[in-house]
Amino acid sequence: MSLLKVPFIAAITLWVHTSLSSPNPASEFNNKTVDENFPTVLFIAVQRGVVRLVAVIEIILILIHNSAFLRQTVLSWFPALDGAISRANNLQITTPFLVGWALVWVAVDLRKRCYRELGPFFTINMQTKSDQRLVTTGPYSIVRHPSYTAAEILYVGAFLANFCQGSLWTTYVRDSAWSAPMIAVWAMLYGIVPLGFFLRRMPIEDAMLREAWPHAWATWSIQTPYKMIPFVYW
């Protein structure tokens, strides 16, 4: 049963990478320098890297547990890992995991819709261009910052998938001294820092768009008053 979890883990990892990657590079009309963009780029790279690392470890444990040859080979070199490999049987697909998996899928689908609507103007940097238009269609007709909505859905889904019963955390980490540090690191990487970034950045982006297209933005802000969550956050 645990072997069936491998493609689900791989899918989540791929979707997280896709959602946390800009479809377009920072262009020449952006005023920021590479050095100014580096902290954001580095932070996103760390986010992707942590998810990949956790996924690789879990997949390796599942594969070793389900292969007599791999298990025998590994234990011949590292006999102390016998208990850890045996516990890999607990790495199972559970209902919370599937809910998390589905949320990550919803997030990446929403993110791709944002990519399609903005086209070449979607980058990780705040920027406008003379031939750009104010996009108010698709997800942008529901909330003004749907890409941030997608990111928050992604973080919730990834949290469920990686911290529910049957996960690497509950099987190996929850009862160890690493439990609290791992929760703290995850909360910073996928909770506190991104949310603070979004809350700081949204009014700046709104001001930039309002300055570039004052009349169009005024109409759009009335028709689409919510920033991230419909009927909840504006």
CA distance 229 to 162: 24
Q: Of all residues in the chain, what percent carry a pLDDT higher than 70? A: 87
The average pLDDT across 59-70 equals 93
Residue type, 186: W
The arrangement of secondary structure in 2-223, i.e. its CATH architecture, is Up-down Bundle (1.20)
pLDDT of res. 16: 93
**How far, in Å, CA of 101 to CA of 78, rounded?**
33
Q: What percent of the chain has pLDDT over 90?
A: 59
Are 110 and 188 in contact by the 8 Å Cβ rule? The answer is no
Are 99 and 1 contacting, i.e. CB atoms less than 8 angstroms apart? Answer: no
- Which residue, among 230, 16, 211, 224, has the nearest Cα to 106 in the 3D structure? 16
DSSP secondary structure string, 45-108?
Answer: HHHHHHHHHHHHHHHHHHHHHH-HHHHHHHHHH-GGGHHHHHHGGG----HHHHHHHHHHHHHH
pLDDT band at 125 (very low <50, low <70, confident <90, very high): low
Question: Rounded to two decimals, what is the model's pTM?
Answer: 0.87
Residue 127: what pLDDT?
57
pLDDT in tens, 163-210: 999 999 999 998 888 889 989 999 999 999 999 989 998 998 899 889
C-alpha distances in angstroms, 223 versus 57, 71, 193, 227?
Answer: 47, 60, 30, 12
Nearest to 199, CA basis, from 151, 127, 138: 151
Q: Would you say 112 and 118 are in contact if contact means Cβ atoms under 8 Å apart?
A: no
Residue 120: pLDDT over 90: no
Judged against a pLDDT cut of 80, whether residue 59 lies above it is answered with: yes
CB atoms within 10 A of CB 79: 8
CB 104 within 8 A of CB 154: yes
Mean pLDDT throughout 133-161?
93
Domain regions of the chain by residue span: 2-223
Alpha helices in the chain (DSSP H): 5-19, 34-66, 68-77, 82-87, 95-118, 146-163, 168, 179-187, 193-212, 214-223
Which amino acid, 205? E
**First vs last Cα of the chain: how many Å apart?**
44
